[in-house]
Structure formats: structure tokens, C-alpha cells
């Protein structure tokens, strides 16, 4: 899951009440469908900082709720307001996430150096989705790299 750190960063989640927050503002149908139809409470997710000086994986969070209508779509003062959304027919969904742990920043540049990740959707040219699936082998590889560098520190 990608977030701009100027909006919500891993440090914001770490400092939030109960170390959890709502994942709001997804406005892409494919990303929405991943959140609504595939993600489940208990799933672990890489928290990725995007649109910043050094994009990359900054931590791991757990999905702690089923998808529910994103409240920002109904708020005319929100930059995520959608006048076509109604309470009866919401267009956008959110989930709640809880910090599992911050990690060292595993940059996009570093991720691209591993041949084991060559098919990772996040690394595909033109991928701008805020939510992308991670294959089990990719997850294990990244987690192993994160753990090995954390242990060496």
C-alpha cells in the first residue's frame, strides 16, 4: 500500500492512537477492488512511501478491518470528495491498518536491483496503483532482506 508521507507516513501511523489509522483516499477502481474484494483482516501489508524524495518500503502494517465505505467521499470539504458517491451506493472504500513494525527504508532503487523481484507488480513500468498485490515469494524475499539488514545493524 502506497502513501505519500506528506499525507500519512509510517511515523504518523506509529504515533497515532493505538498505532492504527484509516487507509482513505483510494480513487482508482483497480486499487479499490483489491482493497474491497481481496484484502482481509489479518493480512500483512508493506507500507510504501511514494511521491517523495526517496520512495520505498518503510514498514509493515496489518489490515485490522474489513473494507467499509471511505467517509471522505461524502465530505464536500475533503479533497477526496466524490459528488457521485452516496451512502446507499458508495464508490470508494477504506480499511483500517495497524503498525506491525517500522523497517529501514528499502528504496525503490534497491528493490529494482533484485532479480528475484523482476516480476513484482509494484516495479512494473507505468504502475501507479496505490495498492498492488505482492506474491508470497516476493513477500518472503523482501522480509528476509529487511530482517537481515535489521539484524546486522
pLDDT tens, residue by residue, 9-42: 999 999 999 999 999 999 999 999 999 999 999 9
State the pLDDT at residue 151: 53
Q: Is the pLDDT of residue 99 over 60?
A: yes
Q: Is the pLDDT of residue 2 over 80?
A: yes
> For the domain that residue 62 is a member of, what is the CATH number?
3.10.590.10
Residues 67-75 have a mean pLDDT of 98
Domain that holds residue 88: 2-152
Quote the mean pLDDT of the chain.
94
What is the pTM assigned to this prediction?
A: 0.92
Q: Is the pLDDT of residue 96 over 90?
A: yes
Task: Dump the DSSP string for the chain.
Answer: -EE-TTTS-HHHHHHSGGGEEEE-----HHHHHIIIII--TT-EEEEEE-SSSS-EEEEEEEE-S--EE-GGGG-TTSTT--TT--SSS---EEEEEEEEEEEEEEEHHHHTT-GGGTT-GGGSTT---S-----HHHHHHHHHHHHHHHHH-
The domain total for the chain is 1
State the pLDDT at residue 133: 93
Amino acid at each position: 500500500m502506497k502513501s505519500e508521507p506528506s499525507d500519512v507516513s509510517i511515523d504518523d501511523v506509529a504515533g497515532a492512537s493505538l498505532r492504527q489509522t484509516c487507509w482513505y483516499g483510494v480513487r482508482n477502481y483497480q486499487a479499490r477492488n483489491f482493497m474491497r474484494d481481496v484484502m482481509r483482516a489479518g493480512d500483512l501489508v508493506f507500507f510504501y512511501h511514494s511521491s517523495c524524495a526517496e520512495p520505498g518500503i518503510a514498514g509493515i502494517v496489518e489490515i485490522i478491518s474489513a473494507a467499509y465505505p471511505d467517509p471522505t467521499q461524502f465530505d464536500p470539504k475533503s479533497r477526496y470528495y466524490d459528488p457521485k458517491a452516496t451512502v446507499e451506493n458508495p464508490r470508494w472504500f477504506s480499511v483500517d491498518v495497524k503498525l506491525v513494525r517500522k523497517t529501514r527504508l528499502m528504496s525503490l532503487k534497491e528493490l529494482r536491483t533484485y532479480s528475484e523481484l523482476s516480476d513484482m507488480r509494484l516495479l512494473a513500468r507505468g504502475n501507479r496503483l496505490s495498492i498492488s498485490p505482492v506474491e508470497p515469494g516476493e513477500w518472503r524475499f523482501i522480509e528476509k532482506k529487511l530482517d537481515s539488514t535489521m539484524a546486522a545493524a
